[in-house]
Amino acid sequence: MLLDKSIRHYEDRIINHTGRFEYIIDFSPTSDADFYYLNDPSTMFSINIDEEVYENFRIGYGFDVTYETGWSIIANFERFHAISSGYINEVYLSVGYVPTEDIKYALALENEKASLNYNKHINGFDIQLGSNYSLLSQIPEYGATIEVASKF
């Protein structure tokens, strides 16, 4: 079950609320499997998977606020609970900006590195500024680039 509600607050922002509840049940039947390794086909192995019912559920709440100026804030919390073995909590928080002009921003976090890029088109020139930072390195690694390009 997913719930989604949009509310217009004031005149400059929209707030969306989301909620979820999922119930997951796995009732796979009992099965037997026989297998062998290619390098030793004379030795057979067997495994029996007993029928068990696994019950899980996921609950969550989130909201996002979108401003007419281009800014947005998104927050979400979810808990995945395996009834017989524990749970996992997930928190997601994002802040973004979509400019109304011909400007592009990008912030990325991947492979232990953070990068920020800025692009703008001015009088036939494409200007790009970029930077990166290694998050988990014992010796910090920084980098910055400036690129100006024109097509004619």
In the CATH scheme, what architecture does the domain 102-152 have?
Single Sheet (2.20)
Structure tokens at 71: 């800014």
Per-chain mean pLDDT for the chain: 82
Which pLDDT tens digit goes with each residue over 76-94? 999 999 887 889 998 888 8
pTM: 0.51
What residue spans define the domains of the chain? 1-37+47-98, 102-152
Sign of CA dihedral 106, 111, 112, 113: negative
Which pLDDT tens digit goes with each residue over 16-72? 999 999 998 877 777 888 888 888 888 988 887 776 777 899 999 999 988 888 888
The vertex-83 CA angle with 82 and 88, nearest 5°, equals 35
pLDDT at 15 over 80: yes
CA distance 5 to 2: 10
114-136 average pLDDT score: 81
CA distance 92 to 89: 10
Count of Cβ atoms closer than 10 Å to residue 57 Cβ:
15
